[in-house]
């Protein structure tokens, strides 16, 4: 890349070549780890198979099955149900907590402490976090003990753990944090003078939240929503552990196929899931300019 030693100044690379050279490393990583495997999965989804074997023959029944079965629809409905419920809880909760942290805490020290407290569970490993639910929600757990001690129930509630409810609780606990983070990030960019100007104009606290803060935080909430969507649509670990074997979702059905060595159906379902998630993300991006949001 260097020109002859006689050149007085440093050799310059043409700008076009420089751009190509700059993107090459990432492009190679992306190609090797994303595009090629995706291509393989796509090809495999069209191949014939039997137990533990895939034949290099075109077989379209897999796709017909995936696209027409009622089971696919039911699985997506179940997954979307989780998504909608979790979003409906984490978005307002995240917004409210971020609003409190950003606008009603005078002490920076206390704000840092609280943000850290919110972030710590996020840093602990997934299995540990999920095991920790047992002493709380299990049959002998704190919640059941307390309710029975208070005489509100006669026998332990079984649906607190290993149920859809448990899955939802775990999702909300984990996914409120990214909602807070993205909303807080947007709120931190609102200059205090803007809020003061609204207050001077006679706006009540509620009017300030509705007419000034919420519109300005919407892009942050959109990004939080993307994080929640991708986390839930792609999740298997949480459903498996918190739901016991009681709850089935799109991700779980792919795992079931994989465990049975049925690679083509697993591949077809994965491709379909990818398309669905990407469509949701693309439509959400209309609400947010990600580059602008990520700029600090």
Partner 1 sequence: MTLALKTETPPPAPAKPRQVTQSHRFDAELVAVTKRYGPGAPAVDNISLRIPRGSYCCLLGPSGCGKSTTLRMLAGHEEVSDGAILIHDQEITHAPPVARGTSMMFQDYALFPHLSALDNVAFSLKVQGVARGERRARAKEYLELVQMDHLAERLPSQMSGGQQQRVALARSLITRPKVLLLDEPLSALDPFLRIRMRAELKRIQKELGISFIHVTHSQDEALALADLVVVMNNAVIMQAGAAREVYETPSNAFVARFLGGHNVVQRAGGGEASVRADQCVIGARPGLRSLPGTVSMIEYQGTAVRVSVTGTDGEELTALMPTGAFFNDALELGQSVRLSWDPADEHPLG
Gyration radius (Cα) of the chain, Å: 25
Output the smallest distance, CB 207 to partner 1, in A. 5
CA distances from 207 to 111, 198, 200, 203, 215 (A): 24, 9, 12, 6, 12
Q: Which residue has the tokens 């709380």?
A: 136
Kindly state whether residue 193 participates in binding partner 1, applying the rule CB under 8 A: yes
Kindly state whether residue 188 participates in binding partner 1, applying the rule CB under 8 A: no
Cα 128 from Cα 137, distance rounded (Å): 15
Binding partner 1 (rule: CB under 8 A), the pick from 86, 101, 166, 212 is 212
Three-state SS at 49: strand
Kindly state whether residue 202 participates in binding partner 1, applying the rule CB under 8 A: yes
Number of residues that bind partner 1 (CB under 8 A): 17
Kindly state whether residue 196 participates in binding partner 1, applying the rule CB under 8 A: yes
Kindly state whether residue 200 participates in binding partner 1, applying the rule CB under 8 A: yes
Kindly state whether residue 199 participates in binding partner 1, applying the rule CB under 8 A: yes
Kindly state whether residue 98 participates in binding partner 1, applying the rule CB under 8 A: no
Q: Which residue has the tokens 């947010």?
A: 288
Kindly state whether residue 179 participates in binding partner 1, applying the rule CB under 8 A: no
Phi, psi for 55 (deg, rounded to 5): -100, 140
Q: What share of the chain is helix, strand, coil (3-state, %, to 5)?
A: 75, 5, 25
Output the smallest distance, CB 283 to partner 1, in A. 21
Output the smallest distance, CB 74 to partner 1, in A. 41
Helix (H) or strand (E) holding 57: strand 53-58
List CB contacts of 226: < 8 A, sequence separation 6 or more.
280, 281, 284, 285
Site string for partner 1, 214-243 (x = CB under 8 A): -xx---------------------------
CB of 115 or CB of 208, closer to partner 1: 208
CB of 86 or CB of 221, closer to partner 1: 221
Cα 265 from Cα 58, distance rounded (Å): 13
The contact set with partner 1 (CB under 8 A) reads: 191, 193-194, 196-204, 207, 211-212, 215-216
């Amino acid at each position: 890349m260097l020109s002859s030693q006689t050149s007085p100044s440093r050799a310059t690379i043409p700008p076009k070549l420089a751009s190509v050279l700059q993107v090459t490393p990432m492009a190679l990583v992306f190609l090797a780890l994303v595009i090629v495997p995706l291509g393989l999965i796509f090809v495999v989804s069209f191949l014939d198979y039997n137990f533990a074997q895939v034949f290099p023959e075109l077989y379209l029944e897999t796709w017909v099955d995936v696209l027409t079965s009622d089971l696919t629809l039911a699985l997506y409905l179940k997954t979307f149900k989780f998504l909608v419920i979790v979003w409906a809880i984490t978005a307002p909760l995240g917004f409210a907590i971020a609003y409190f942290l950003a606008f009603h805490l005078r002490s920076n020290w206390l704000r840092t402490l609280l943000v850290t407290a919110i972030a710590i569970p996020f840093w602990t490993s997934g299995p540990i976090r999920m095991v920790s639910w047992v002493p709380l929600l299990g049959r002998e757990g704190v919640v059941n003990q307390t309710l029975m001690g208070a005489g509100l129930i006669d026998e332990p509630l079984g649906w607190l753990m290993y149920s859809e409810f448990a899955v939802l609780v775990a999702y909300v606990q984990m996914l409120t944090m990214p909602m807070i983070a993205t909303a807080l990030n947007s709120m931190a960019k609102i200059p205090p003078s803007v809020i003061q100007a609204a207050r001077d104009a006679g706006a009540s606290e509620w009017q300030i939240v509705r007419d000034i803060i919420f519109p300005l935080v919407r892009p942050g909430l959109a990004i939080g929503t993307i994080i929640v969507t991708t986390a839930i649509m792609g999740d298997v670990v949480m459903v498996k552990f918190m739901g016991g074997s009681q709850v089935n979702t799109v991700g779980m059905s792919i795992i079931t196929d994989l465990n049975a060595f049925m690679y083509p159906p697993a591949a077809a379902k994965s491709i379909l899931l990818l398309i669905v998630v990407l469509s949701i993300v693309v439509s959400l991006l209309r609400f947010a300019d990600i580059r602008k949001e990520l700029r600090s």
